Structure 1
Amino acid sequence: MRYIEITIPSGKRRAVLDILDDEGIEYVVSDEIGHQQTDAVVRFPLPTRAVEGVLDRLAEAELSTARVVVIDAETVISEEFDELRKLHMRGTTTGERTSRQVLVTKADELTPAFSIYVVMLLISAVVATSGLLSDSPAVVVGSMVIAPLLGPALAASVGIVTGDGELRTRGFRYQVVGVAVVVAASIGLATLARLAGLEPGGVDIVVVAELEERVSPNLFSLAVALGAGVAGILSLTRGFSEAIVGVMIAAALIPPAAAVGITTAWGMYGAALGAFGLVAINVLSINAAALVTLWLAGYRPQGLFEVSPTRRQTATYAAVFAVGLLALSTPLVGITLLEFQTTQLKSTAEGEVETVLEEPDYDGVEAESVEVILDDDYPLRSIDRVVVTVRTDGVETDPELGTRLSDAVSAEVDDPPIVEVRYVLADQHGSDEQPALEPTERQVVHTVGDQSDDEGERLEERRSRV
């Protein structure tokens, strides 16, 4: 429920009261004298659903100098108000729909002052970068909580569908500056971490689980941003928890932007390109989902001369968002197909390895793991090799086993990969005078398959890292 107070300019009292009488609204009018030429002030309660329509009708009375105040009302005890509320609930779904005028105000209020916005994003970038470098999901989530992205992410779309150019421009400006601030801060912090020798585990930075999933995104990444855009608009229009939705929007933007900074600081520009592509896709997805949701919900100017231009403007932005999403999402299709292919190849290889090792000749050998290794050409990677690790109680390897496994795996796929067989050997040492020591393990690697000299050198480099 809302409580409305309107200052009526001189000469407009009768026109305003006729509209209120026609709507069946119970109101109170009082004469007012102020520094402006006002005739009276009218006050009345309204169901939330009725606010937008009534204010639109009053706008037709050309109340250009009127002041309208909309206040939340806890309870209204009145038979006439109950009848009015029932009238506006007929033929509609349950739930309260925020008026267009209040929606614009809420979107504006959720956008903080620019200085506060930048400071909060700097803090969020530091926390997100630290969380990604330390592979800590809890810290990454913390960075999302403090990021003030809900207002800017929704203000642009609200400004588009309501014809508020200032709100639209501010929303887009805040989003661009916000991403730039997070990326720049992450580059700075990650550079300091690298110079300080804080590379996690002494391995490539992208093997960190919290980072790897954001430098080579798939199509499912779109679902997060699209859901965030729809949920954000619903939080504004239906009164759901805005704080929780803000975290969801930050989840789509802050970690990928921090990933751009980290991979750039490490000189992995392919991975940085993949993470930046995810940021761009998420920004477009949030704005597109919010724009479509608002338009379908009926939030648009209702005046005779406003509907058509705003419809054209909304259609233009929707087309730009759609083309941008289509162009940026095309590489994600290849990444998604690669993931499916990798999963299928791993399942096939596991089955073939089990079949081979069930033969009597390999009674002392058991499969330990099967992995499909991708190359380091981010963001569009490809299958590099299949690594089969087997455990044996003996001290010798069987080169023929590698060939058998390679042939079995290659026979089931169109593009045979390199198969690398790793033996985990249990060595036992002892003599007549000295009992055997505890078994020790060592690893021997046999690689089967065609590979170039460059690939062979890359293999040796990886083994030295292992």
Structure 2
Amino acid sequence: MPLRLMEIYLPETNDDAISEFIDDESIVKFWQERSAETGLLVKMILSVEQTEKMLDKLEQRFGGKDGFRVVLLPIEATIPRIKGNSIEEEPAPDKSTKPDNGENEILRISREELYSDIVDSTKFTITYAAMVLLSAIVAAVGLLQDNVAIVIGAMVIAPLLGPNVALALATTLGDFDLGFNALKTNLLGISIALGLSITIGYFFPVDPAIPEIASRMHVELPDIVLALASGSAGVLAFTSGASISLIGVMVAVALMPPLITFGLLIGSGNVTGATGALLLLITNLICVNLAGVTTFLVQGIRPRKWWEAAKAKRAARLAITLWSVLLAVLIVVIIFSQKS
């Protein structure tokens, strides 16, 4: 089970202030040292799913003190190996009782660590723009040549996972700034890919009968299932520390091919086919975000402060309601279009 090293800096060398945390059963190892420059430095090793609770307790106890800071570091290995009070030997939690703070006992990184990992993906940089541009070129070539391998290659380099997961996290936490940056980066990335694909479609012949293109000119119910699974897997990649690059391919599969198909068909003047591709793109965007917000809520991601939690709860309810209504409307449209 993953472990974290937590370094706590306190300006006052007050043993009583930190003694209440020493007996916490979630701490695997604990030690402290004093310095005239830094004051009291406390270090503890604890399991990854316990870090958020400990961070909340520390901030509540020492948050108002000048010089207070917590540094959280991942642990790759320790020598000697941790034994005795190791995580593997802890008794299983009593499933008949649930914590009163509403947090689920699910293995995931802390809220602060998750936020730190995701916030960088909302920044629109030259690298992000270049990766979107390159993935759009590769995807367009793969679609025009009806080459599945090339299309998959485009999905590997498409940087679409971060901004979409960030948008879902912003909704869950009620964080307007994070949501604005995520939405901006998403829209700019989509605009770059769309503009390039329209240009390619204008100058190169686009045959709508190509299977890779034709399959993305309409929406079917399995496409909805794929997009929902992609959104949930994308969130789990961040919260569990799984391979983000590999799972990011799933999100890219749901978004990049229909986006490029839409642009190619618009550029070639095929408005009818482009409408179907646009419907698929919108459906996938709704499903990815709906699944992302739902997965965050199921994993117990909440703001720490109660007034922030109330705002986040309203934002999450509104988002889930909006996405669900739109998805229901799209499903009705899909069913009627298939019958006709």
TM-score bracket for this pair, using the shorter chain length: 0.7 to 0.9
Which residue pairs with 1:310 in the alignment? 312
1:206 aligns to what SS in structure 2? coil
Q: Among 229, 232, 238, which residue is 1:230 paired with?
A: 232
Distance 1:219 1:181 in 2: 28
Quick one: structure 1 residues 55 and 88, their matched pair in 2 at CA, closer, same or farther if it must change by over 3 Å? farther
Which residue pairs with 1:90 in the alignment? 93
2:306 aligns to what SS in structure 1? coil
Query: Is the Cα contact below 8 Å between 1:29 and 1:40 reproduced in 2?
Result: yes
Query: Is the Cα contact below 8 Å between 2:168 and 2:292 reproduced in 1?
Result: yes
Distance 2:26 2:113 in 1: 22
Which residue pairs with 2:203 in the alignment? 192
Which residue pairs with 1:138 in the alignment? 149
2:5 aligns to what SS in structure 1? strand
2:40 aligns to what SS in structure 1? strand
> Can you give the 5+ residue segments of structure 2 that lack an aligned partner in the other structure?
96-103
Distance 2:227 2:26 in 1: 43
Name the structure where helix makes up a greater proportion of residues.
2
Quick one: structure 1 residues 58 and 12, their matched pair in 2 at CA, closer, same or farther if it must change by over 3 Å? farther
Which residue pairs with 1:183 in the alignment? 194
Give the AA of the match of 1:63.
Answer: G
Matched, 1:126 2:132: no
Distance 2:71 2:93 in 1: 27
Q: 1:122-271 to 2 correspondence within 5 Å? A: 122-194=133-205, 199=206, 205-271=207-273
Query: Is the Cα contact below 8 Å between 2:13 and 2:34 reproduced in 1?
Result: no
Which stretch has the larger CA shift, 232-241 or 311-320? 232-241
TM-score w.r.t. length of structure 2 = 0.87
Query: Is the Cα contact below 8 Å between 1:121 and 1:147 reproduced in 2?
Result: yes
1:31 aligns to what SS in structure 2? strand
Quick one: structure 1 residues 273 and 20, their matched pair in 2 at CA, closer, same or farther if it must change by over 3 Å? farther
- Number of residue pairs matched by the alignment: 325
> Can you give the 5+ residue segments of structure 1 that lack an aligned partner in the other structure?
200-204, 339-381, 383-466
CA offset digits 1:298-355 (Å, max 9, x no partner) = 11123333322221121111112122222333321223x33xxxxxxxxxxxxxxxxx
Give the CA deviation at 1:228.
0.3
Which stretch has the larger CA shift, 211-220 or 85-94? 85-94
Stretches of 4+ aligned residues off by more than 6 angstroms: 92-95
Q: Among 124, 127, 130, which residue is 1:116 paired with?
A: 127
Which residue pairs with 1:276 in the alignment? 278
Give the AA of the match of 1:102.
Answer: E
Distance 1:175 1:330 in 2: 27
Distance 2:193 2:44 in 1: 47
Distance 1:270 1:31 in 2: 71
Matched, 1:48 2:59: no
Q: Among 8, 11, 26, which residue is 2:10 paired with?
A: 8
Quick one: structure 1 residues 313 and 14, their matched pair in 2 at CA, closer, same or farther if it must change by over 3 Å? farther
2:163 aligns to what SS in structure 1? helix
Query: Is the Cα contact below 8 Å between 1:190 and 1:265 reproduced in 2?
Result: yes
Is the radius of gyration larger for structure 1 or structure 2?
Answer: 1
Task: Determine what percentage of the aligned residue pairs are the same residue.
Answer: 29
Name the structure where strand makes up a greater proportion of residues.
1
TM-score w.r.t. length of structure 1 = 0.64
Distance 1:88 1:48 in 2: 16
Q: Among 34, 44, 57, which residue is 1:31 paired with?
A: 34
Name which structure has the greater RCO, CA cutoff 8 Å, separation 6+: 2
Quick one: structure 1 residues 80 and 33, their matched pair in 2 at CA, closer, same or farther if it must change by over 3 Å? farther
CA offset digits 1:214-262 (Å, max 9, x no partner) = 1122222111110001111121222322222111100011110001111
Query: Is the Cα contact below 8 Å between 1:27 and 1:42 reproduced in 2?
Result: yes
1:305 aligns to what SS in structure 2? helix
Distance 1:79 1:256 in 2: 51
Distance 2:14 2:172 in 1: 29
- Please, what is the CA RMSD of the aligned residues? 2.5
Give the CA deviation at 1:113.
4.8
